[in-house]
Amino acid sequence: MFTTIEKLITLRNLKPKKKEGFLKIISAFSFLGIMLGVSILIIVMSVMNGFRSELTNKILGFNSHVIVEPYSSQISEEFYKNLKNQYKKTNIIKTYNGEAVVLINNTAKGIVIRGIENKDLNKLNFFQSNIIDGQILDFTNGQIIIGKQLAIELGVVVGDTINVMSSSLISTPLGTVPKQSPYVIAAVFSSGLYEFDKNITFLNLADSLPFFDKSEEDINLEIFIDNPFDANKYKEKIQNSNPDYHVYSWSDLNKSFFSALKVERNVMFLILTLIIVVAAFNIISGLTILIKNKTREIAILKSLGLTKKSIIRSFFMTGFLIGFFATIFGLILGIIFSIYIEEIRQFFSLIFNFEIFPKDVYFLDEMPSELNFKSILSISLFSILITALASFFPSLAVTKIETIKALKYE
């Protein structure tokens, strides 16, 4: 516990005299540096956590969790039925994916076509919550479902017809040409992922196979499970029991992407902690100057019977309180900023007429943010620890002051 005299000395040190204005500047910079360092760390970590979570949720909501593709042999109907019986709590659908080109109004746009059976659409949460125009109940042969961004770029709406050119070729009297087919837009979806909304379309499986000149032998199986993070367990079981097929999970497809996000997050944390460390050096310099200026006062306190430990604690608390309250204010500022970061982004984008978070670069429509208690706690503890160390070592300089020499000319 701190005694009354130690508290009084601490408060006196926190209010330098007018002739010690330089100490006020150093203290202010120390306070602002630590506060900004803590708040920026919280904001950046929250945005990166939100970015990772949002992308994960979007990817998992859009893509299947486990994919089974034919390898040395085709996927048989018997295997399909056995898989459905074995994993009754999962959704298993037949699909075929291919690349094509949309032709409309002298515009050509490359797309990815995902063929899926009409009866399977209602089984997927994606189609239940992301259709913004049209109906999937009437999705039949000759119809197509496209993303919002693609619809905007092509200038089309539900009910319009678009021509789609396949990568497969057909023979004509004039030679071989790419196969083309017209499709009526049945619905428009919005996944929240810019790249998906721009490039992905859906056809009925019965349309997609002949469109790409494929057959039932070329279909894939896509599995949707309750907990996507168990996908690798399903993958290993299916692969071990069926070596003739190629089985992979959503994490295999996005491994490099999420690894890069993790590395970037860790590097950003290390870089931004330097702000707090640099601010802590201001505390060291401030306390060092303060102790130098207070040499005679310290000597007088010693002569009056105040112990070295009490004086050390007083100067330690001077630096520690600056860092502690700076950390608290930094936490409040960082949390508030993280909660309202999308509103703040929109405000600055409107004021400066500049897109701060372009969706074509970052994939998402809005700037995500996710506050994590562990991240906030670790940032706070780190800041307080650095502050404590920066306050403790300069305070030890008090022990080097010799009372007789300090009072010699008094």
Q: % helix / strand / coil in the chain, to the nearest 5?
A: 60, 20, 20
pLDDT at 332: 92
Tokens describing residue 193: 């992922």
Cα separation, 7 vs 296, whole angstroms: 19
On whether the pTM is more than 0.95, the answer is no
Task: Report CA-CA distances (Å) from 334 to 40, 100, 261, 345, 380.
Answer: 6, 46, 21, 15, 11
Cα separation, 196 vs 23, whole angstroms: 56
Average pLDDT taken over every residue of the chain? 78
180 burial via Cβ count (<10 Å: 0-12, 13-18, 19+): middle
Domain boundaries, the chain: 4-57+257-407, 91-224
Q: DSSP string covering 91-139, please?
A: EEEEEEEEEEEEEETTEEEEEEEEEE-GGGGGG-HHHHHSEEEE-STT-
pLDDT tens for each residue of 361-392: 555 667 778 888 888 888 888 888 888 888 77
pLDDT tens for each residue of 54-81: 777 777 767 788 888 887 777 877 888 8
